[in-house]
Chains A and B, each alone.
Chain A
Amino acid sequence: DIQMTQSPSSLSASVGDRVTITCRTSHNINSYLNWYQQKPGKAPKLLIYAASTLQSGVPSRFSGSGSGADFTLTISSLQPEDFATYYCQQSYSTPRTFGQGTKVEFK
């Protein structure tokens, strides 16, 4: 199974901050990496797929980069509605695996 390691596990930030979350995989997965946002009590929401493609309807302040085994999710200017937990997920092979999550909290 492909192991996913996200960092940090949590971070505190303010509105307007630039936020970066990283995801490292145990194998080279090319660009088969997706990012989700989850708010408490809600289902996850797809933000980015294929490492850098913005899902339809997702604000352009979200961006993804990377390939191989190192990936990054960036929020260019954090908005109040962005406080949530973020997960990476690999779609290179089954079983699909997720990172452990990064909780973005209000500073």
Chain B
Amino acid sequence: QVQLVQSGGEVKKPGASVKVSCKAAGYTFFSYGITWVRQAPGQGLEWMGWISTHNGITNNAKKFQERVSMTTDTSTTTVYMELRSLRSDDTAVYYCARDRGNLGNFDYWGQGTLVTVSS
């Protein structure tokens, strides 16, 4: 069955970086991109960006463009999202989700990774 398994929670200080992993299994990895969505405590969903697992092309939200990197490791079917220069308002649960391409929706999600930014 399709599974996206994310790395565990992280606690970081302001100014640091965090790298969250998302391991995909149960489907043809190259057939779907991966989208990252975050959710601050008690808040709604915020799209961060997308990466093609086929060729590594990314499309990131302007808000994060300077601070985010998304990469893939095809040998392990794992996608990574790195967020730099962390601030307290980056405290959130970060989700990866399988992106259905032209349909633009997200049919399978990881379990979420809580990133806490605190001094």
Contact = CB atoms under 8 A, between A and B. Distances in A.
A38 B61 CA distance: 23
Contact of A100 (B44, B50, B104): B44
B112 A87 contact: no
A32 B104 CA distance: 8
A46 B106 contact: yes
Nearest to A94: B59
Main secondary structure of the interface of A (DSSP, over half): loop
B46 A98 contact: yes
B108 to A, nearest CB: 8
A100 B43 CA distance: 8
B51 to A, nearest CB: 13
A90 B104 CA distance: 8
B112 A43 contact: yes
Interface residues of A, number: 24
A49 B46 contact: no
A46 B104 contact: no
Given A43-B95, A43-B112, A96 B107 contact: no
Nearest to B106: A46
Contacts of B106: 34, 36, 44, 46, 89
Interface string B71-115: 000000000000000000000000101001001111101111000
A29 B68 CA distance: 28
Interface in A1-57: 32, 34, 36, 38, 43-46, 49-50, 55
The 8 closest A-B pairs by CB, nearest first: A91-B104, A43-B109, A96-B47, A34-B105, A98-B45, A95-B61, A49-B105, A101-B44
